[in-house]
Amino acid sequence: MTRPERPKIAPAQPRSVDPFPLVRTLEALEAWQQAPSPETRAAVGGSLEGVLMAADARGAVLEICAPPLPRLELGAGTLSSVPPETERGALAPFTLAAHHGHRVLGRLFLDAPEGAAASVVRMIEMAVDAAWSRAEVRERARRLAALEEATRAVAAELDIDRVLGVIVDRVRELVGAKFAALGIADGRGRIERFISSGVSPEQRAVIGSVPQGMGLLGRVIREGRTLRVDDIRSDPTAYGFPSHHPQMTSFLGAPVSVKGRSVGNLYLTDKTGGEPFTEDDEHLIEMFAVHAGIAIENARLHDQVQRLAVVEERERIGKDLHDGIIQAIYAVGLSLEDVPELVEDAAGRVEAVARVDRAIDSLNLVIADIRSYILRLRPSIGGAEDPVEELVRLGEEVAMNAVIDLEVDLEGGADLFRALPPDRTSDLLFIVREALSNVARHSGATRMTLILAQQGPDLLLAVEDNGRGFDPGPVHRPDPQGRHQGLSNMRDRAVGMGGTFAIERPDGAGTRIIVRVPAPPSATPGSVPPPGSETNQP
């Protein structure tokens, strides 16, 4: 009888041991840090099991509390059901520390033979340290990018509310806070501008008025230092929340300063996950507070520049009106002074009619100039007309209205005058109009001369008359009563072009006004001497 063959029993297979438990743990922690979820948490637990098996350890509880790594507590092996804190006394506790900076990253509780504990702790600590270091690098890069964005916003954006909005949003995202806000205080310490993040416009409307800086917010401004409070309710300076205001627990606030003076505060509340704010969070909010201070100062400086620009534009328009339109109207008035006498006899009526016609033409030009000002354009003087011809026209207009003989000597500097930039040509035409008008109004002259010449690299413009003259001394001193405004305007225009302005009394009679301005680089220097340079240098 044949005995039945006994079944073959496969030998027991040893437990599968991961040959690279450290690599698996690091990979699992990386995945957990970037996307915390039940799946990535389970992967960390599985990698911890692999470390225990590789070191012949029975169980472990891993605690990680090292931002920017997410908080983590899990067990493996015999401790897969994590025992409460009160029941961990029998387990061997080990502190996990970073190799650089000696920062505590977490704790490890082990159920393992004495000889196995050291290798388990070493592998887990290395994996956690590496994951934390990588997370730190990524977090620092993210913070630098946010700081760069805030810096660009401060440099490029003039709307202060938009700049501060960028700062508040970025600091809240980086720290991981539920709410953030920035308040700017007035001279009494009361909040006058308030920008928030994490609260919808609808919620803001329900809350009502902005904080007045009575509690912690006012303390940050008054003391000018950063405050970190784990529980707002426990702080004796807390003022409480208004109705419909979301409840807040933790607080981190930094002062916003301008030129060493605290002008507001930047603060965060309720860090995600209920964790307290850290020292790193303090440093970050202080950096953003500095940027907020720069933005506020930039906005104030911009406002000052705008106001100054308005004042300067008013002064420019005032000079242009005085030197152009007002002088033109005065010249028209001079031409009409004798009309009542002329119309008394038949011979004079023809001249009276001619003068009235010329006055109408001149007033039409004035109307055109005024229309240009309304359109925020410079007046027609210095326009498309040849500048030398316009210079002659100005002289003839004043001479005709004031009944003064006019002599012109322009050939020596005509080409150089035409080569000037339009803005300089316009300023010189205004100077000539003012000077000729002064001759007609004040000098009692019977003859005036208009001269253009080239002296070395400079263009020289002169207006001479044979009138009674005057003492130019007071013109060079400040005049609180505003007299000699026209002469001051002429000097300002000449100096503004980089030139000079002088007044002379040639041979003790009459007046000579001399303006020198630099020629453009493309002009060829000449050598024509200025009028009267042999005896009178201004």
Residues 430-470 have pLDDT tens digits of 899 888 888 887 888 889 999 999 988 899 999 999 988 87
Q: Are residues 98 and 198 in the same domain?
A: no
SS (H, E, C) 408-470: EECCCCHHHHHCCCHHHHHHHHHHHHHHHHHHHHHHCCCEEEEEEEEEECEEEEEEEECCCCC
Task: Give me the chain's average pLDDT, please.
Answer: 79
Q: Cα separation of 61 and 84, whole Å?
A: 11
Q: Cα separation of 255 and 365, whole Å?
A: 60
Q: Are residues 86 and 218 in the same domain?
A: no
**Number of C-beta neighbours around residue 117 at 10 A:** 18
pLDDT in tens, 10-51: 343 444 555 578 888 889 998 988 888 999 999 999 999 988
Question: How much of the chain, in percent, has pLDDT values that exceed 90?
Answer: 11
Whole-prediction pTM value? 0.48
Q: Are residues 124 and 177 in the same domain?
A: no
CATH number at residue 514: 3.30.565.10
Domain stop point among 270, 294, 318? 294
Residue 536 has pLDDT above 60, yes or no: no
Q: Are residues 430 and 530 in the same domain?
A: yes
Q: Cα separation of 280 and 269, whole Å?
A: 15
Whether 168 contacts 197, CB under 8 Å: yes
Residue with tokens 């029975």: 58
Q: Are residues 473 and 533 in the same domain?
A: yes
Domain stop point among 245, 272, 294? 294
Residue 533 has pLDDT above 70, yes or no: no
Q: Are residues 129 and 204 in the same domain?
A: no
pLDDT in tens, 265-305: 898 999 887 788 888 889 888 888 888 888 888 877 777 77
Lowest mean pLDDT among 395-404, 476-485, 500-509: 476-485
pLDDT in tens, 358-409: 887 778 777 766 655 554 444 445 455 688 988 888 888 777 767 788 999 9
Q: Where does the pLDDT of residue 475 fall: very low under 50, low under 70, confident under 90, or very high at 90 and above? A: low
pLDDT of residue 90: 76
CATH number at residue 166: 3.30.450.40
pLDDT in tens, 302-323: 777 777 877 777 777 777 777 6
pLDDT of residue 409: 93
Residue 516 has pLDDT above 90, yes or no: yes
Q: Cα separation of 409 and 452, whole Å?
A: 6
Q: Are residues 114 and 258 in the same domain?
A: no
Q: Where does the pLDDT of residue 210 fall: very low under 50, low under 70, confident under 90, or very high at 90 and above? A: low
Question: How much of the chain, in percent, has pLDDT values that exceed 70?
Answer: 81
Q: Are residues 267 and 406 in the same domain?
A: no
Q: What's the total number of domains in the chain?
A: 3
pLDDT of residue 18: 55
496 within a domain of the structure (yes/no): yes
Residue 178 has pLDDT above 80, yes or no: yes
Render the burial of 241-275: b for 16+ CB within 10 Å, e for the rest. Answer: eeeeeeebbbbbbbbbbbeeebbbbbbbbbbeeee
* Residue 172 Cα to chain centre, angstroms: 22
Q: Cα separation of 523 and 458, whole Å?
A: 10
Q: Are residues 402 and 537 in the same domain?
A: yes
Q: Are residues 164 and 136 in the same domain?
A: no
Q: Are residues 415 and 502 in the same domain?
A: yes
Q: Are residues 33 and 112 in the same domain?
A: yes
pLDDT in tens, 103-152: 889 999 888 887 788 888 888 888 899 888 888 888 788 877 877 777 77
User: Which residue range is the domain that position 60 belongs to?
Assistant: 21-140
